[in-house]
Structure 1
Amino acid sequence: MAVAVVTGASRGLGRALARALAAEGWSLVLDARGAEALGEVAAGLRSPVVALPGDVTDPEHRAGLIDAARSLGGVDLLVNNASVLGAEPLVPLAEHPLAGFRQALEVNVVAPLALVQAALPLLREAGGRVLNISSDAAVEPYETWGGYGSSKAALDHWSAVLAAEEPELRVWWVDPGDMRTAMYAAAVPEDDGSGRPLPEEAAVPALLELVNGGARSGRYAVSGRSAKEWGR
């Protein structure tokens, strides 16, 4: 049975993707900071699942995630989904708290790379896959999204380098598109998000298509219910 590690799995896209992978028979190692919410997600899944609450910036927590995956059989898929905005609500760069900017870099850039490094022996053994959740803010200069977008731009770049350095793996960095999530509500509280689809309606089918189809490494953007390679 294939094993996936999914960070930020207690809500939004992470929760929806974990549920979809479980429905397809994946064994799961799930991470989130909120123990209660993560436990509720895990309790609703029928696949083998290990739920480990913690902070992805904590080296001991990251090691625990990989150890748990090893106990289930390895790492076939690593989903780096956990993210922070750096400021809630979003603010212009002139007002952006530097502590929040550092936190966004630590959570959105450094921690995912650290998890890849920890999982790499198991990923190589499995010919595995890395799915990094990015954003259109990584490439578009949206006002007030500068801190978050900068972190996702850095994530995109090291993802591309990793794909070049590890050609036996599949590495995807994906803009999941507009979604109705708690993160978006915190970013732009004046927008109720009612016109945006839920993650399971739009992004998850496209991400499953990538995972199941073995698409080549690259940057993808969700369009409709499919993931299109960037620039194609």
Structure 2
Amino acid sequence: MPVAIITGASKGLGRALGAALAERGWDLVLDARTAPVLAETAGALSAYGTRVEALPGDVTDAAHRAALVAAARRLGGLDLLVNNASVLGAEPLVRLEGQTLEGLRRALEVNVVAALGLTQEALPLLRSSTAGTVIMLSSDAAAEAYVTWGGYGASKAALDHLAAVLGAEEPGLRVWAVDPGDMDTDLYAAAVPVDDGKRPAPESVVPAFLRLLDERPVTGRYAAPSLLEPR
């Protein structure tokens, strides 16, 4: 069975994507910081009959990243790495004049440095797969100038460029930076707590990721809304 590592997998898009892959028979290695929530998610996904390894921890911890890859190796290898874990750097979001440097460093450490560290750890297994794939979770804030989204957007812009260069350096892999669009997640609620707009559930954008996995387009940056358009 194919094997995927998904970070930030206890809820939101990470959990929704994990459920879709489990339904397809994928074995999963799941990461999140909150152990009880991750354990509940792992139990729910195991009900699909797939093998699920749940490892609570922080992706900024090198030992934790190594443990995630070791778990995938025990399951037989690694075909897909989803770098989904993210932090905002400020909750709620603030203008750049009020962005703490500590918050920005945290956003860069989680959203960029840890993603690269886990990818480096996983590369030998990904290269051994016939369909090795890396998905970096991007954001429209990486490409657009939204007030108060500067720190988070800067981290995602850096992640986009990292993905582009990785794709050029690893032609045998697919490397996709994917902007999922606005979603009803805890991350967005923390970013803009007074926002009362109705946003789509994470499950609604999962078909965009499945389309990428099914069609395997070239390495690049993709936006989920365009992938959800009729073919």
Asked whether the two chains share a fold, i.e. TM above 0.5, the reply is yes
For residue 226 of structure 1, report the CA deviation from its aligned partner: 2.2
- Counterpart in the other structure of 2:228: 226
Hey, what does 2:5 align to over in structure 1? 5
Superposition CA RMSD, Å: 1.2
Aligned pairs, how many? Answer: 226
Deviation at 1:223, TM superposition (A): 1.2
1:99 and 2:102 equivalent? Answer: yes
TM-score (normalizing by structure 2): 0.96
Aligned structure 1 segments of 4 or more residues deviating by more than 3 angstroms: none
Map of 1:137-216 to 2, 5 A cutoff? Answer: 137-193=141-197, 195-201=198-204, 203-216=205-218
List alignment gaps of at least 5 residues for structure 1. none
- State how 1:35-184 maps to structure 2 within 5 Å: 35-45=35-45, 46=48, 47-127=50-130, 128-184=132-188
In structure 2, distance between residues paired with 1:227 and 1:27 = 29
Q: Give ranges in structure 2 of 5+ residues lacking alignment.
A: none
- Percent identity reads 65
Distance 1:136 1:178 in 2: 9
> In structure 2, the residue corresponding to 1:140 is in which secondary structure?
coil
How far apart in 1 are the matches of 2:23 and 2:99?
41
Give the Cα separation in 1 of the matches to 2:16 and 2:229.
17
Between Structure 1 and Structure 2, which shows a larger proportion of helix residues?
A: 2
Partner of 1:200, secondary structure, is helix
Cα distance, 1:28 vs. partner? 0.1
Q: Hey, what's the Cα distance between the residues in 2 that align with 1:81 and 1:217? A: 18
> What is the rounded CA distance, in whole Å, between the counterparts of 1:166 and 1:26 in structure 2?
24
Q: Secondary structure at the match of 1:191?
A: coil
The SS at the match of 2:18 is: helix
